[in-house]
Structure 1
């Protein structure tokens, strides 16, 4: 594994990234909640980009992977700011944003802030507004009281250690919601969702589809695919959707 480069944000956070030089529009991978840029989808897309001579960027939000900071100090707004900072610093011109899970929410936020940088968007099990519409919604009265009292609750995870959910994450998430009003995306959009996804419900994909305002927006359900969306068939579909958006 090669050593990453680092970008310092205006708030002093050190964001680890790997950039592949190549032709534009470039492709940017936005990872998920508590994941990192060494995941299967990020590496598969990087390999594809290198084979195509296409510019590519993958990075870790603060508190994730090789970037600075503690996970429990961060929130959606911080991670969106991290993404915007490194993208504006190390890429040029329009980009195709590939957002996995939380990365789909981050992409939606950025589509409002730096719309001129979007050549397209591919969402993989995109999870906009999940802190409110999934986490907070499903908390028990005990968990809500504990969060308000202690500022932290631990949620079980299928991917390893429990997820530490902070009051800051939930509170900030309410300031970052993207599905409470129309979401203009005047560029090609491809949304991918597995029917066996235990983390993001099908209705989330349909709700996102309904909120996006655009002339070239498509949602594809893949029967039997789970939240990882990383088997060879799913990876091939992701690459095909990126190619379709670029075309």
Structure 2
């Protein structure tokens, strides 16, 4: 059963913490995803077997945490991630999936001294602006101006996209200003990802600056990035970042 803590903003978040050696590995999930996903659970199993500290948690409005998804925005979930790091001592390796990739970049920008390394999986930086807003029709933009718009999702119920999510997201963009990543970074991206185009990964690699950044493209992998080969690559990338950080 998940434990919980309350953030400085007063939001109760659910989490699972595996004790072990540091740097701790922290999994940051995607948009409307939760900490019970295949990648998070697989990494926890790896952490247990390798004696590594590991944290997975649910943002507010996600999974077992309090709050309504529709009330949240990128900044709220970034604050949740920062608060979750308060459960850990020392440096961390961030593993950000999809939206969690954007959140992890925000965390890395805000507190680079806490980050020992970064692995992103189909990272979706700035997606509220570059993917959602950019693709809205005039009718959808009118609907959004009145409060919210519903977008179909192949993962279940439609996504309710609020005016606040879009407008607040504009204050959290990471691909418009310098982005320093002064630690080992591994970007992972599938070529068959229908949600985050390969061009996003290439743009992120070209935009960010750091001494040790690599992008791995996996032929045929989709956005879930959860088959056995992809899960093994995620683990290898985390191990690579950990060993590179110690070198």
What is residue 108 of structure 2 aligned with on the other side? 111
CA distance in 1, matches of 2:156, 2:72: 19
What is residue 69 of structure 2 aligned with on the other side? 71
TM-score by length of 1: 0.98
Instruction: Report deviation, 1:86.
Output: 1.6
Structure 1: gaps (5+ residues): none
Aligned runs of 1:1-247 on 2, under 5 Å? 3-88=1-86, 90-149=87-146, 151-247=147-243
Instruction: Report deviation, 1:113.
Output: 1.1
Secondary structure (helix, strand or coil) at the match of 1:225 reads coil
Instruction: Report deviation, 1:114.
Output: 1.2
Moved segments of 4+, more than 2 Å: none
Q: Which stretch shows the higher mean deviation, 223-232 or 9-18?
A: 9-18
Secondary structure (helix, strand or coil) at the match of 2:64 reads coil
CA distance in 2, matches of 1:63, 1:178: 23
CA distance in 2, matches of 1:122, 1:83: 15
User: For each residue in 1:97-153, what CA deviation from the matched residue of structure 2 results, as whole angstroms up to 9, or x when unmatched?
Assistant: 00000000000101111111100000000000000000000000000001002x110
Structure 2: gaps (5+ residues): none
Instruction: Report deviation, 1:211.
Output: 1.4
CA distance in 2, matches of 1:37, 1:49: 15
Secondary structure (helix, strand or coil) at the match of 1:213 reads coil
Instruction: Report deviation, 1:182.
Output: 1.8
Q: Which stretch shows the higher mean deviation, 232-241 or 3-12?
A: 3-12
TM-score by length of 2: 0.98
Instruction: Report deviation, 1:193.
Output: 0.3
Aligned length in residues: 243
CA distance in 2, matches of 1:49, 1:56: 6
Secondary structure (helix, strand or coil) at the match of 1:218 reads strand
